[in-house]
A and B are shown apart, each in its own frame.
Chain A
Amino acid sequence: MPKSLAVNLSRHPPLLLLLLLLWAVPASAVPSFARQTGMACAACHTVFPELTPFGREFKLNGYVLDNMNQIKGITMENRETLSLNSIPPLSMMVQISYTHTGSALPDSVVSGALAKDGEVLFPQQVSFFYAGKIADNLGAFVQLTYDGAEDHFGIDNTDIRYTKHFSFGGANDNDHSLLFGVTVNNNPTVQDVWNTTQAWGFPYSASSTAPTPISSAVLDSGAGGIGQTVAGAGLYAWFDDRLYAEISLYTAAIVGGAHPLDSTQHHVVHSASPYWRVAYEYRWDRNSVELGAYGMQVREYPGDGKPLQGASDQYTDTALDAQYQFIGENHLFTLLSTYIHEKQKLDASVADGFAFNTDNSLKTFKLTGEYTYRRTIGGSIGFFDITGGTDSLLYAQSAVVGSLANSPDSRGLIGEINYLPWLNTKLQLQYVRYTKFNGLSNDYDGAGRNASDNDALYLLAWVNF
C-alpha cells in the first residue's frame, strides 16, 4: 500500500470500528432451495423407460430434482459455487436375453453350414449410469454400456442440461411459466421426453443378434446409426407445461478408429447438422396427449475408404409424432405413433460407387399400443412399415442382409408380454413378425431366405438397481 494512503488504524479508533462493523455482515437467510427427488419409479415412469408427465417435467428441468445431502460452497456474496451430491446418484442395469430366429442363419465362414439357432447373451448389455444433479441448475444423464454381443465397452446415451426457469403474469406473477434449457448430447432425440422418437421409443429393448431391415431413416437409426457418432448442443423452451420448441446442431464425434477422422471412418457427419423439435402436450384428468413434429438435416461423408472431402450425402428428415397416455389407478394405456419422411441426396455415395441414384427417399411409419395392469403385467403391440425407392447398389442383392428386389421395404409387427415382479425388474417375451423384409415376403435375398425366417423370439430379463 503506498505510504501516502497508509492509515494507522490504531490511531483512529472510529475508523477501526467502522471497518470491524463492515466485516461483521451477518449471514442470514437460507441458501437456494435444492429441488429433490427420492421418489419411487412410478412417479416418473409408467413402465420404464416410458415417462409420465411428471417424469417429463423432471427431465425437462434438467435432472436436478434431488433429495440427497449436498456438499455446498458459496461466495462472500452468497452466490452458490458448488452443490455436489454427498452420495453420487449412480445406478446400473443388466440385460440377459435369449434370441431365436424363424430359421437359423448361415454360418459366417463355412458355405452351406448353419450358425447356432437360439442364443443366450449373458449379458446382452450392462450399463452404468450417473443420472442427476451436478451443480445448481445443471444435471446430467450419462450412460456407459458394455455390449455383450460385440464385447465392447463405451459411451452410450449422454445428455447434459442447464436450465433456467421464469414465472410471470397474473396477481402472483406466476400465472405463466417459461423454462429455458441448454442440452449437450450425443444422440439426436435422446433429449426428447416423449416416447415416440427413436432414442427412447418402442421397442425399448430388442435382440442384438437377429437380422434387421437393410435401411432406416437417420432419425430412426439410433445406436449403430447416428447415435454416439455425433455430438450436439441445443436450446429449448418449455412454456406453461404445454409447448416445447428446440433447435440443436450436431457434428461428427466418433469414438474409436482413426483420429483425426479420415477415410477409414464411416458416415462422418460434417459441418453443423440442425435438429429441430416442436411439441404440444395437453393434460386433463389422468390423460395426456401430445402432438409434435421434428426433423433433421444431416450432411455426411460416406468414408469407407473414400476421403472426407468434396461431395457429401444429405439426408433431410421431416417427421410427425403423436402420443396419448392414460395413467389410471389400475390400468395404464399408451398409444405412440410417428411418421418420418426422409429425402436422400446421395451425391457422394453415387460418386464413390455405394449408390446408383442421387435422389432417393425413405418413409417410416410406426404405431404402437401398450397396456399394463398396476404396472405389474401387460403387453404391447407395435406395427412398423418402412418403404423407399429402389437402388441396385444401395440395396444390392446379398445373402441374408441384401435385397433381391433392391428395395428397403420392410413391414411387420412387434408383440410383447411384460411381467414386473418389482418396479425395477422387467421380464419380457417379445416376438417380431416380418410380413416383408428388404423388399419381399418370399426369397427376399435371392438365396432362399423368407421374411418370416427373420421372425425373432426374444426373451429378456432387465434389472435396474
Chain B
Amino acid sequence: MKLNPMIALVVGVTLYAAVIAKAQDAGATRDQTALNSTLQTCATCHGINGKSVSPTFPNLAAQMPGYIEAQLKAFKDQSRSDPDAQAYMWGMAAPLNTSLIHAIAEYFSKQPGAAGKSGDSALIARGKHVFEEGVPALQIPACATCHGAHAEGMAIFPRLAGQHAPYLLKQLLVIQSALRNAPVMHGVVKDLTKEQIEAVVAYLESI
C-alpha cells in the first residue's frame, strides 16, 4: 500500500504536537510536583499556610516575596550565618534552584498573614512608639519608614506584622552583634537597648 505523503505528514505533525504538549504538561506537572514536595518540607517547621507553631521558626505568610527570595539565596550561599540559619536553613536551601526559590516566595507571599497576638499593653504601647517614631535622641529612624506604616513590609524590607516576638528579638540581637550579616539594619539598630527591642517586638507580634 502506498503511503500518501501528505497524510503521513499531517498525522506526523499532529502526533508530534500531541507528544510535545504531553511532555510540556508532564513538565509542568513535574514542576508542580517538585514545588509541592518542597513546600511539604518547608511546612514541617513553617506550617503549610506559612504560620509556624514554634517561634524558633518565623511565620512566612504574607511575607514580601523579594525578602523571602533574598533570604533563601543568602542561606544557599551561606552569606546569612546566624546560629539558626546554620543549624537549619543552610541544609534546607542548598538544593534549591532559582525557579523553586521564586515559586516558594510566591506561594508564601500569597498566604493570609498571621493574626496579631495580644500581650502586655504597656509594653506594646512603648513598642508602637519606637516603631512609629524611632528613637530620635539616638538618631534611630522609625522602623515604619522602611517596613511600612503597619509593618506590612515594602519591596525587600520584610513584613514584621504578626511575626513571633521571640524570633524578631533573636534577629535584632544577631543583627546587633553582626552574627547575622545585615549592614544597613546593623547601622539602624546597633544602639537600641534591650528594653526597646523587647517593646517593639511585643508590638509587632500584636498587630
Residues of A in contact with B (beta carbons under 8 Å apart): 12-15, 17-18, 21-22, 25-26, 28-40, 42-43, 53-54, 57, 65, 67, 78, 165, 167, 172, 174-175, 177, 241, 283-286, 327, 329
Contacts and interface: CB of A to CB of B under 8 A. Distances in A.
B36 A21 contact: no
A79 to B, nearest CB: 11
Contact of A39 (B40, B56, B91): B91
Majority DSSP secondary structure for residues of A touching B: loop
Nearest to A37: B91
Contact of A18 (B11, B23, B41): B11
Q: 3 closest A-B pairs (Cβ-Cβ)?
A: A38-B91, A18-B12, A29-B27
Nearest to B111: A172
Interface string B80-93: 00000011101110
Contacts of A53: 54
B24 interface: yes
Interface of B: 3, 5-6, 8-9, 11-13, 15-16, 19-20, 23-24, 26-28, 30-31, 33-41, 43-45, 48, 53-56, 86-88, 90-92, 94-95, 97, 99-100, 166, 170
B23 A26 contact: yes
Given A15-B3, A21-B12, A21-B16, A283 B48 contact: no
Given A29-B30, A32-B30, A177 B53 contact: no
Contacts of B8: 12, 14-15, 18
A26 B31 CA distance: 15
Contacts of A327: 54, 56
Helix, strand, loop or mixed for chain B's interface? helix
A12 B9 CA distance: 11
Given A18-B15, A43-B88, A283 B54 contact: yes
A25 B5 contact: no
B34 A28 contact: no
Contacts of A34: 95
A165 B16 CA distance: 34
A93 to B, nearest CB: 21
Contacts, number: 122
Nearest to B54: A286
A345 to B, nearest CB: 44
Contacts of B27: 28-29
B23 A35 contact: no
Contact of A67 (B38, B86, B94): B94
22 contacts: A13-B5, A18-B9, A18-B15, A21-B12, A21-B13, A21-B15, A22-B12, A22-B19, A25-B19, A25-B20, A29-B27, A30-B31, A32-B33, A33-B37, A34-B95, A37-B92, A39-B88, A40-B86, A167-B36, A174-B43, A285-B53, A285-B54
A328 to B, nearest CB: 9
A36 B90 CA distance: 10
Nearest to B36: A167
Contacts of B94: 36, 38, 67
A78 B92 contact: no
Contacts of A329: 166, 170
A177 B95 contact: no
B151 to A, nearest CB: 21
B78 to A, nearest CB: 11
A33 B53 contact: no
Given A12-B5, A26-B23, A285-B53, A65 B41 contact: yes
Contact of A165 (B6, B9, B13, B40): B40
A283 B9 contact: no
Nearest to A15: B8
A147 to B, nearest CB: 33
A145 to B, nearest CB: 28
Contact of B40 (A37, A67, A177): A177
A332 B31 CA distance: 40
A37 B45 CA distance: 13
B87 A40 contact: yes
Contacts of B90: 38-39
B136 to A, nearest CB: 32
B7 to A, nearest CB: 9
Find the residue from A18, A67, A167, A241 having the highest chain B CB count within 10 A. Answer: A18
Contacts of B55: 285-286
